[in-house]
Amino acid sequence: MLLEVRDLRVEFRTRDGVARAVDGVGYAVDAGETLAVLGESGSGKSVTAQAVMGILDTPPGRITGGRVLFQGRDLLTLKERERRRIRGAQMAMIFQDALSALNPVLTVGDQLGEMFVVHRGMSRKDARARAVELMERVRIPAAAQRVRDYPHQFSGGMRQRIMIAMALALRPALVIADEPTTALDVTVQAQVMDLLAELRREYRMGLILITHDLGVVADVADRIAVMYAGRIVESAPVHDLYRAPAHPYTRGLLDSVPRLDRKGRELYAIKGMPPNLMRVPPGCSFHPRCPMAQDVCRTDEPPLYEVPGGRGSACHFWRECLRG
Ligand code: SF4
Ligand code: MG
């Protein structure tokens, strides 16, 4: 397994108390595979990724437990130098906002080239040539000229391509993309997702795609992990999850996006709001919003039950949910 996260816990200490932003999360992604991590904002999906990448804001964030196994070695217990070496060369991250992730005062050619100079010991001239190649690979028109431009001279979609080029420059084994297309308009979103999927196949890298948007994952992901209030509430191969969700929250999410196969059906909205992480409801944290909630849900916290077909659901009534 390329990456395996086990029982990861992250806390944020605030003046009002302790927020368990990540509360026992586990997931895995193999080479050449795409895992989508789906959840509303504040569900813990980005914080989990930041803990994996070692870029968590500390303090107030603190990893309080768990393991992050990268090719079998726990990044949380490795020596800092070794950990940094692995994260620098083997793992890369793509962020939502390319404009703030790129350096505004350097040309994109210099930024891309810098990767090769620093990590591969290339000359400036060779590094520049590699930068142009990379820009061509992510289909930036007139790359040989545009390599001299600054980030603000590119459109949002082109900037996102440049960020993808940066992430892939050193051929990392794992890429984590956090809402990579959220800031783009719908047509450009699809192009950028297609590019990412294509490069993932070509480089056989593992990809973790973090998103709040079920619409973008169907075509690119192999598996989905759905997060709610700092936990994974459902995990399944993407097509199984679409066909028959095993958790009412996932069902609510599916029913609230327009789908071609459900034309004419009224769109549904999950009632209420996700909980404040300092006051997570007892029992099943989803119970105040759940249309299937029973008494037991208010007192007994559901474990992640094993569901046939390599799936998991943190719902006492996953069988009923599966049956629809
Ligand atoms: Fe709903 Fe109960 Fe299942 Fe939680 S455990 S999702 S409240 S039915
Ligand atoms: Mg986020």
* Predicted pLDDT of residue 260: 66
Place 218 in a pLDDT band, splitting at 50, 70 and 90: confident
Q: What is the DSSP letter of 13?
A: E
How do the residues of the chain divide into helix, strand and coil, expressed in percent and rounded to 5? 40, 25, 40
Predicted confidence (pLDDT) at residue 269 exceeds the cutoff of 80:
yes
Query: Residue 252 C-alpha to ligand 1 middle, in angstroms?
Result: 12
Q: Is 321 in the pocket of ligand 1 (CB under 6 A)?
A: no
**What is the best residue among 316, 319, 320, 323 to mutate for testing ligand 1's pocket, by most ligand atoms within 8 Å of CB?**
316
- Minimum-distance ligand to the CA of 282? 1
Predicted confidence (pLDDT) at residue 266 exceeds the cutoff of 80:
no
The mean pLDDT value for 148-170 works out to 93
Identify the CA nearest to 47 among candidates 22, 70, 67. 22
Q: Is 316 in the pocket of ligand 1 (CB under 6 A)?
A: yes
Protein residue whose Cα sits closest to atom 3 of ligand 1? 315
Query: Residue 242 C-alpha to ligand 1 middle, in angstroms?
Result: 19
- Minimum-distance ligand to the CA of 212? 2
Give this complex's ipTM: 0.96
- Minimum-distance ligand to the CA of 48? 2
Predicted confidence (pLDDT) at residue 59 exceeds the cutoff of 70:
yes
Q: Is 245 in the pocket of ligand 1 (CB under 6 A)?
A: no
| Summary mean pLDDT of the chain | 92
Q: Tokens 């990540």 — which residue?
A: 22
Q: Is 290 in the pocket of ligand 1 (CB under 6 A)?
A: yes
The mean pLDDT value for 254-268 works out to 74
* Predicted pLDDT of residue 184: 86
Query: Residue 233 C-alpha to ligand 1 middle, in angstroms?
Result: 10
| pTM confidence score | 0.94
CA distances (Å), 82 to each of 31, 78, 167, 277, in order?
Answer: 21, 6, 20, 33
* Angle (nearest 5°) at CA 231 between 226 and 234: 35
Q: Is 292 in the pocket of ligand 1 (CB under 6 A)?
A: yes
